[in-house]
A and B are shown apart, each in its own frame.
Chain A
Amino acid sequence: MYTHNGEDVFVIDGHVHLWDASKENIVHEGGEQFIQCFYDYHTGFTPEEEQWDMETYRKYGSERMVRDLFRDGHVDMGIFQPTYLTDFYDEGFNTTDQNAELAEVYPERFVLNGSFDPRDGDEGIEHLERLKDEYDIQGVKLYTAEWRGDSKGWRLDSEESFRFLEKCAELGIENIHPHKGPTIRPLNRDAFDVADVDDAATSFPELNFVVEHVGFPRLDDFCHIATQETNVYGGLAVAAPFAQNRPRKFAEMMGELLFWVGEDNLLFGSDYAIWEPDWLIPAVMNAELTPEERAEYGVELSPEVKRKFMGENAARLYDIDIEEKKRQFRDDEISREFGLGDDYSEASAD
């Protein structure tokens, strides 16, 4: 648990990965380009002394992940967001089944999300049903710009997509996380246009749409949608590391997001292993608005607001009882392994 000015902050990292970009797993040049691109994001926003070498970055493994998140990274729970990319990687890059190997060891610490691709048709529906059945998933991560054969992407508001969203609603998979944001080579930029979220969110009020990476480079389009739709949320992955190397820009962006999207609709995510929570969380928690920004936006980046996007908002979407979790973590396997039990005791600051 993170402690900020003597107060506990329960952290649910809303965006973590366990990927395999080892050379043996790459079957298409896109796979190599993809991990190289991820690595540029890593080095671009990571303090020099915290940067990983490329070999480690390709495949870091579950033991390191557990240490980086829970022992060193102040994280209490993590939400796995899969990235299939099965055309590029033999076994997939970061699939639900791969993530499950770790999530099932520590089920109390991880939320396991699935994914769907409407171009898979009936087979895709069956896949979604299997994920629900096998792992009881409550959310899906979607890449509307993923290549598949000749297709360079799909739209969330298409007829085929609506069939899958209906299936999600029927199965109780309530949290839809479309990746909308930075272009990832070799995925097409235009397929990351955020406009298709609007119609989908209006048509499925029972679902929550967490737009990952707050829509960059279309932050403005995303904000316009989020301000109108109460079931549209912003995932802060990619925006968060601004706090480390461009702290003023980060604060301004938080001013915008709090003004347009609102404090109840933002979710922190480290995007691990692109960035690591151990240095990222303090950078975000230390961010402050200037008096001018507070006046202009009419919002506060207070400890209460930070606690919301650091964990409470995700807890609401994923039916997590934070107090119950704290009791559980006094003596769960992770706390025993890393000696963290005292962090969750009653005597701890609250």
Chain B
Amino acid sequence: METRDSADPIDSSEAGSGPETGEPPVDREAIRQRLDRVDDPELNRSIVELQYVESIDVDGGDVTVTFVLPTAWCSPAFAWMMATGIRDEVGALPGVSSVTVRLPDHMHGDEITTGVNRGRSFESVFEDADDGIDAVRRKLDEKARFARQYGAMRALQEAGLDPAQIATLTRGDVDLEFGADVAAVSVRGGALTVTADREPLAEYLAKARETGVVTDATDRLFADRDGDPLDPTGETVEDVLHDARLATSNIEGQATICASLHESRNDVTLD
């Protein structure tokens, strides 16, 4: 399931209304909240934030979501991931009996939505695709994890940690529950606790967990591009910081291209 592993996930029991029939069973805000968890896998941002969702139509338990992409030639694999994400997220809401995904103005829009709405696999619809959809997703998630690491490492630098401390931190050293905006970070074997900006750490950890890089309390917090642990000598940490920044610049650069095309073609305005 292609969902956004939000640091603050929306519990499906809170969203939507009860299973009674007769009354409008699903509320649009609940649908939007579910859609917000679906990411553009390349740009690492929510499709709601990117203004891809064109319309949500609710007819009893039947929901139709129409989304548009910046170009008609966006990768079919990426479009597929977003379409299945929409289907699965909205379909998980109580009271939803069917989800229909529409993707107008895309070169493979019909193939993608027919396939996704019928629950077929990407590989059966696009037989000549080089990589399976899971492999493509995996590659993008690894890039997204590494890009988010830049923000997390910078937050720790700003909190005063030195490169060796940053390199050797483990998951157990970070307490995201410390405050609404601040995380507590334990250094020098617990002799000292410092606070750091919470958001970049939380966003990074969500992706690090999802990609299996950080799952246990004893796991090192950071890794290089390939997922290998960092050398605690300062020079390597500096190299990894540059490399992670490059991963961020790549995603943001591509997002700039997509946003300009999206604005021009679909008449939306993004910041």
Contact = CB atoms under 8 A, between A and B. Distances in A.
Interface of A: 33, 36-37, 40-41, 43-45, 152, 182-186, 189-190, 216-220, 223, 238-239, 242, 245-246, 249, 252-253, 256, 259-260, 296
Q: Does more than half of chain B's interface fall in helix, strand or loop, or is it mixed?
A: helix
B6 interface: no
28 contacts: A40-B71, A40-B261, A40-B265, A44-B260, A44-B261, A45-B260, A152-B128, A184-B73, A185-B72, A189-B75, A216-B250, A216-B254, A217-B42, A217-B254, A219-B249, A220-B243, A220-B246, A220-B247, A223-B246, A242-B256, A249-B253, A249-B256, A252-B249, A253-B253, A256-B246, A256-B249, A259-B242, A296-B245
A175 B12 CA distance: 57
Contacts of A190: 130-131
A150 to B, nearest CB: 9
Interface in B140-180: 143
A37 B264 CA distance: 12
B263 A44 contact: yes
Nearest to A150: B128
A217 B73 contact: no
A37 B73 CA distance: 8
A284 B128 CA distance: 41
In the A-B complex, the 5 residue pairs with the closest CB atoms = A185-B73, A44-B260, A44-B264, A217-B254, A219-B250
Contacts of A186: 73, 107
Given A40-B265, A185-B107, A219-B253, 15 more contacts: A37-B71, A43-B264, A44-B261, A44-B264, A185-B71, A190-B131, A219-B249, A220-B243, A220-B250, A242-B253, A253-B249, A253-B253, A256-B246, A256-B249, A260-B246
Nearest to A242: B256
Contacts, number: 77
A182 B258 CA distance: 10
Nearest to A190: B130
A216 B75 CA distance: 14
Nearest to A187: B73
B252 interface: yes
A33 B107 CA distance: 9
A245 B75 CA distance: 25
A219 B252 CA distance: 10
B56 interface: no
Among B42, B252, B253, B261, chain A packs the most CB atoms within 10 A around the CB of: B253
Given A185-B107, A245-B260, A217 B250 contact: yes
Contact of A33 (B73, B130, B250): B73
A40 B130 contact: no
Contacts of B254: 216-217, 219
B73 A183 contact: yes
B173 to A, nearest CB: 26
A201 to B, nearest CB: 19
A186 B74 CA distance: 10
Contacts of B252: 249, 252
Nearest to A36: B72
Nearest to A219: B250
Interface string B230-256: 000000000000110111011011101
Contacts of B130: 190
Contacts of A36: 72
A238 B260 CA distance: 12
B257 interface: yes
Contacts of B265: 40, 44
